[in-house]
Amino acid sequence: MSYKDLMFSVNEYDSDGDVSEFGIFLHFDDVKIKVSDSIEEFSDFIKHLQSIDQEIKENWCDHVS
């Protein structure tokens, strides 16, 4: 799977179209992961991913020949 295939959804709905679970979900092929309960929390999630990105960049050269 390419990162470009990543999809998202907002909230989950029951068969009547009513919200059954609030949140923001990321979809990786057949895997769905709830990453936040609100847009504010989603922004914090993105900041955390950026922090992880920075840490990977700082350590990547140490492990790749």
Beta bridge partners of 20: none
The reported pTM is: 0.80
pLDDT for position 62: 64
pLDDT for position 26: 97
Domain ranges of the chain: 3-63
Give 10-residue mean pLDDT values along the chain (65 residues). Answer: 92 97 96 97 97 91 64
Asked if 22 contacts 36 with a C-beta cutoff of 8 angstroms, the reply is: no
Asked if 36 contacts 44 with a C-beta cutoff of 8 angstroms, the reply is: yes
For residue 9, what are its two tokens? Answer: 């959804």
